[in-house]
A = this chain, B = another copy of it.
Amino acid sequence: MNTPELCLGALLCGDASGYEIKQRFETIFSHFQKASFAAIYPALTRLEADGLVTARVETQQKRPAKTIYSLTEAGRQRFIDALHESQGDEIFRSDFVLQMFFAELLDADKLAETLERHEQRLRETIARLEAVRDQGGHSPGQRFTLDYGIAVKRASLAFVEQSKATFIHEEPEP
C-alpha cells in the first residue's frame, strides 16, 4: 500500500489533520507501517482533489489552525477495495542481522554491544505493545496485530538470549 491509501486507512479511525495522521502512524500503525510528513501532506492534497476526502479548516484557541480531513463514501470504498486487492506483501530489512552475518568481522566488544542493544530494543517494543494491548478497547483485528507483534518479538528475543553464549566469551578479569 502506498501513502495515499494508508492515509485513507488512518482516516477510517476518525477525522484528522495531517499532523494527527502522522501520530497514528507512530502509535496504532507503528509496528507495521510508516510514513513521513513529506509523503502525507501531498497525499492529502491529492486525495481531496480526487474526492476521496474532504477538508475543513479548524481554528484553535491555543494552537495553530489545522486542516481536518474526513473520508468521503468514495474514499471509504476505495480503501476497502485496496484492502481486498492487497497481496499482503511484507518487507523486512535488518542491519542488525547484517551485523550478525558478518559477526566475525566485529570486535568482541562491538559484537556484545550489538546483541545487548538489540535485546533491549526488543524488550522495549514488547513492553510498549503489551501496554497498548492492556489498555483494551480493541477490535479483534487490532488485537490480532498487537498479539502478533508481541509473539514475533518474543520469539526474536528468546532466540537472541539463547544465542548470546555462542558469540560472547567473557574474558576473565585481569
Chain A contact residues, CB within 8 Å of chain B: 1, 6, 9, 12, 28-29, 31-34, 79-80, 83-84, 86-107, 110, 114, 117-118, 139-142, 144-145, 147-149, 151-152, 154-156, 158-160, 163, 166-167
In the complex with contacts A99-B86, A147-B159, A140-B93 CB distance below 8 A: no
Copies of chain A in the complex: 2
- Please name 23 pairs of A and B residues whose Cβ atoms are closer than 8 Å in the assembled complex, sorted by A: A1-B95, A9-B98, A29-B98, A32-B101, A79-B105, A80-B105, A83-B102, A83-B105, A86-B95, A87-B95, A88-B94, A88-B96, A88-B114, A90-B92, A90-B96, A100-B144, A102-B141, A103-B140, A104-B139, A144-B167, A148-B163, A151-B155, A152-B152
Could you say which residues of chain B place their CB within 8 Å of the CB of A144? 100-101, 103, 163, 166-167
**CB <8 Å contact, B88 and A140:** no
Shortest A14–chain B CB gap in Å is 14
